[in-house]
Chains A and B, each alone.
Chain A
Amino acid sequence: MRFALLLLAIFAAGSTAAQTTYPSRPVTIVVPFSPGTGIDILARTLGERFSARWGVPLVVENKPGASGNIGAESAMQAAADGYTLLMTATSFATNVALAKRLPYDPQKSFAPVALVATGTLALVVAPTSPARTIKEFVELVRAKPGVLNYASTGNGTVQHLTMELLKQALGIDLVHVPYKANAGAITDVAGGHVEAMITPVHTAGPLVKQNRLRMLAVLSAERSPVFPSVPTLKEEGFPDLEVEVWYAMLAPAGTPQPVVARLNSEVQEILDSNEVRDALAKQGLSPVGGSPERLAELLRTELARWPRVVAKAGIKAD
C-alpha cells in the first residue's frame, strides 16, 4: 500500500508542468513519415540543435502512414501549448487535393511556425534516352504520345503531381509508372527501364555525376548551384514552372503567439549556423526560415495550386 502511494506521488510530481518559461519540459515534434526519410533527418537535425540550445530534449516521434495524414491528425489533437510540433512537407498541400475528406483542416488546424528548407526538383532521363536537352525531350515525347514512361514515388506524391503539371504545361503525354519509394524509382530510370522522372536534385546528384542519369532541366527560378550547367525551364522557352519540395514546421492551432515567435526565431538562428547550412547543402536543401507569415503565404499558394492539377489530370485517391 505504501509502495503504491509512493509510486502515485512520483507520477504526480512528474506531471506538474511548471508554468515557467517555455520550454520547461521535453518537446515532441511529430514527423509523419518513417525514420530515415529526408524530412525525418531534417527534423532530427533541428532537434539536436534545439536540445542543445534549450537544455531540454526535443524528441522526434515518427507517426507514418497515409502520406502524412496520420501524423498530422495526431499533432492537431495535441495540446496547443507548444510542446507538440509537426514537421511537414509538400505532401501536406498535395494531400488536400487528393483526399475526399481529411481529418484536419490544412488552413485552420495548424499555426504556421517556420518554413525550414526547400529543395529543387529536376527532370531527369535515362542515360539510354536519345534526348539530350529538354527541347529534344519534349519533341521526342510529342512524337510518341502515350508510349514513353515516367517513374514516381507513388500515386499522389509530389513527383507524380509535378510531372502531371509538367505534362499539362508542355502538352506532352507520358505513362505513369508508380513505385513505392524513391530508391526503386530512380534506380530503374538509371537502368533504362523507365524513360524519365521528376526527382529532387540532390537525390539524382550522385547518379548524374556518374553519367547514369541525365538532368535536363530544373524546375526553379534559377539554376541550381550544384548543377550550374542545367538550364531552367524558363530559359529554354517553356512556361515558367517552379515547383519546390518544401519542409516546414507547424504547431497546433491556438498555440500562443509568443511561443510561435520564440520557435520561429530559434529556427532562424539554427538555420543561420554554418554547420546546419552545410549539412543541409550536402542534402541539396536550401535553408529558408523567414516569418510565420511567409509560411502562411506559401501554404495558401500551394493549397490553391494542386487541386487544379489533380482535377485536370484526373487523378483519384481515396
Chain B
Amino acid sequence: MEILSNLALGFSIALTPQVLAYAFIGCLFGTLVGMLPGVGPLTGISLLLPVTYGLNPTIAIVMLAGVYYGAMYGGSTTSILMRIPGEAASVMTCIDGYAMTQKGRAGPALAIAAIGSFIAGTVSVVGLMLLAPPIAAVALKFGPPEYAALLTLGLLVLAYLSSGSTLKMLLMALVGLLVGLVGIDQMSGFARFTWNVPELADGVGVVPVAVGLFGISEIMLSARSSGALKVQKPRLADLVPSREEMRASAAPILRGTLIGFLVGVVPGSAHIISSFVSYALEKKISKHPERFGHGAVEGVAGPESANNSATSGAFIPLLALGIPSGAVPAVMLAALMIHGISPGPQLMQSRPDIFWGFIASMYVGNVVLLILNLPMVGLFVNLLRIPYAYLYPFILALCLLGVYSTNQSTVDVWIAIGFGVLGYFLRKLEFDTAPLVLGVILAPMLELAIRQSLAMSGGDWSIFAKRPIAGTMLALVAALLIYNLLSRGWRTRVGLEEK
C-alpha cells in the first residue's frame, strides 16, 4: 500500500534524533505555554517562529506543531487541577475534571485526559492522512449560510448542557449571547456597549470570561475551606484510573474523536465548540446523566478527545488546500511559506518528505506528549496536597498573569475579576455557568454568519433553505427541537406535564 510506504518515509525522517529533540522542545514549550491561562498556542508558535528560520523545514514544522499540541495538553492540566480553563476549548474539562479532583481522583482525571488526547490525536492524524483531499473539498463548500446553520446546531447543544432548570440555562445562554455581542459590529462599524473603552472594541473576549467565571469564582467559594483537598499520600490507586473509569471512558473517547474531527475540519473557528458538543452528547446518551457535573469521567474523556482531534482536523484544509482555517493554522501557513513550502495538493507530489514527515511528526508529537505528561501526573497530584491556603494565592496570581499576558491589557483582568464575582453569585444560586461561556463564543460568530449570508443573498432569508448543506443542518435542528418538545422527559422537566 502506497500509504504505508509513504508513512515509512515520513517516520524515517521524523524519528531522527534531531527531529525528536526539536519535537520534544516544542511539546515542552507548548505545555508550559498552555498551562498559563489565556496565553495559548498562537502566542507560543509566534514566539518560536523566528527561532526556526535557520532550521530545515521539517524540523521547524515539527517543533511548531509540537507547540500547538503541547498547548492543548497543558490547558487540560490547569482545567482539571485548578478549574482554570487554559483556553476556551478547555472549559468543559473544568467541570467534571475539577469535580474529580475534589473527590481525590485528580490523577485518574489527568491520566484519562492524557490518554484520551493521545488516542484522539493519533486516530485523527490517521483520518487526516487518509481523508484529507476529499474532506477538504467538502470543507470548501461551507460558506456563511452553512456556517450559520452549524452554529445554530451548536446553540441547540446548549439545551443539553445544563443539569438543572431549563429556564436558568436559557437565562445564562442569553446573558452569554449578550456579552458576546459587545464590540464594534463588523458590518456597520457601529460600536455596541463599548462605553468608549477602546479595549472593548473587539469584544469582551472569552478567555477573561472563562477564567473569571470558572477559576476565580471557584477560589472565592473555596478560600474559606482552607485545608488540603485530600490529604493522604497518594497510593498508586489514586494516580491510575480504575478499571471502571477506563471502561467508562472508552466509548466517549471514540465519540469525542469523531466529533472533534468533523467539527475541526470546518474552516473557521467553530472547532472551539467541539468539546461542548462532545460533553452534551455524552450527557445525553449516558444512563446516569445526573452524574455529570459531579465527577463523571465521561465528562473528561469526551471533551478532551474532541479537543485534540479538532486540532488535527483544523490542519486538513491547510495541508490539503493551503487554506488556513483559523488563526493558528494561519501562522503555520506563514511558517511553511517562510520555509519555502507552499501547502496544497502539489505538496504531496512535490515534497512528499515534508508532507509525510509532518504527518509522522504529529504521531511522534502525541507520543512525546504522553510520555511527558503521564509521569507528571504524580507530581501534580502531590502538589495538591499542599494546604489550599498556600495554593490559592498563587493560583490567583497565575490567573492575573495569564489573563494580562494574552493582550497586555488590564481591561481583560478587570473583566475576569468582574466575571469572577458574577460566577460566585451564580453558583450560589445554582446556575450552571457553561451555557454563558458558550453564548459568549457563539454569539459573535453566529451573528456575523447570518448577516454575511443576508448580505450575500441581498436580504433574502430563503438562502438558508436553498443551499443544500445549510438546509439539511437546519432541518436537523428543527427535527431535534420538535423531537424534544414531543418527548415526555423534556416536557416533564420543563414543567409542561406532571411526572
Contact = CB atoms under 8 A, between A and B. Distances in A.
Chain B associates with chain A: yes
Interface of A: 34-38, 40-41, 44-45, 47-48, 61-67, 69-70, 73-74, 98, 103, 146-147, 149, 154-156, 175-184, 186-188, 190-191, 193-194, 202, 205-207, 209-210, 212, 275, 279, 282-283, 315-318
Given A41-B334, A191-B141, A318-B189, A176 B455 contact: yes
A156 B185 CA distance: 11
Nearest to B191: A318
A184 B143 CA distance: 9
A183 B333 CA distance: 11
Contacts of B329: 183
30 contacts: A35-B45, A36-B45, A36-B46, A38-B334, A40-B46, A44-B49, A45-B53, A48-B53, A65-B407, A66-B202, A70-B198, A73-B198, A149-B456, A156-B189, A180-B186, A183-B268, A183-B329, A183-B330, A184-B267, A184-B268, A188-B143, A193-B143, A193-B144, A206-B322, A207-B322, A209-B344, A210-B321, A210-B344, A315-B189, A318-B184
Given A103-B198, A190-B323, A206-B322, 19 more contacts: A35-B45, A38-B334, A41-B338, A44-B46, A44-B47, A65-B198, A65-B407, A65-B409, A66-B184, A74-B408, A180-B448, A186-B323, A188-B143, A202-B337, A209-B344, A210-B321, A282-B339, A315-B189, A316-B188
Nearest to B141: A191
Nearest to B412: A65
A275 B327 CA distance: 26
B186 A154 contact: yes
Interface in B29-46: 42-43, 45-46
Contacts of B140: 187, 190-191, 212
B344 A206 contact: yes
A66 B191 CA distance: 11
Contacts of A212: 140, 321
B490 interface: no
Nearest to B343: A206
B50 interface: yes
Interface in B447-486: 448, 452, 455-456, 458
A182 B317 CA distance: 14
A98 B46 contact: no
Contact of A283 (B142, B337, B343): B337
Contacts of A147: 458
A149 B460 CA distance: 14
Interface hub of B46, B199, B344 (most chain A Cβ within 10 A): B46
A66 B183 CA distance: 9
B187 A69 contact: no
A63 B409 contact: yes
B305 interface: no
Contacts of B327: 34, 36, 181, 183
A126 to B, nearest CB: 11
Contacts of B331: 35-36, 41
Interface in B278-332: 317, 321-331
A210 B184 contact: no
Contact of A210 (B190, B268, B334, B346): B346
B130 to A, nearest CB: 21
B152 interface: no
A275 B198 contact: no
A178 B346 contact: no
A155 B50 contact: no
B201 interface: yes
